[in-house]
Amino acid sequence: MDKLWAPWREKFILCEKELGCFFCRTAGEKKDEENLILLRGKKCFVILNRYPYNNGHLMVAPYRHVGKLENLNEEELFELSKISQLCVKVIKAGLKPQGLNLGMNLGKVSGAGVADHIHLHIVPRWTGDTNFMPILAETKIVSIGLKQTYKQLKRELKKIIK
pTM for the whole thing? Answer: 0.81
Residue 70 lies in a domain: yes
d(CA 82, CA 103): 15
Number of structural domains the chain divides into: 1
Radius of gyration of the chain (CA): 16
Residue 110 lies in a domain: yes
Residue 62 lies in a domain: yes
Cβ contact 48:35 at 8 Å: no
User: Tens digit of pLDDT for each residue in 28-82?
Assistant: 999 999 999 999 999 999 999 987 777 899 999 999 999 999 999 999 999 999 9
Does residue 119 carry a catalytic annotation? yes
Quick one: CA torsion of 53, 58, 63, 68, rounded to 10 degrees? -50
Residue 156 lies in a domain: yes
Give the per-residue pLDDT at 59.
96
Residue 24 lies in a domain: no
Residue 137 lies in a domain: yes
d(CA 102, CA 123): 6
Residue 124 lies in a domain: yes
Give the per-residue pLDDT at 46.
98
Q: What is the rounded average pLDDT for all residues in the chain?
A: 84
Residue 22 lies in a domain: no
Here the CATH number for the domain that contains residue 73 is 3.30.428.10
User: Tens digit of pLDDT for each residue in 80-116?
Assistant: 999 999 999 999 999 999 999 999 988 888 777 788 9
Q: Which residue in the list 57, 117, 119, 121 is annotated as catalytic?
A: 119
From 68, 36, 30, select the one nearest 52 (Cα to Cα): 36
Q: Is the pLDDT of residue 137 over 60?
A: no
* 55: containing domain: 40-160
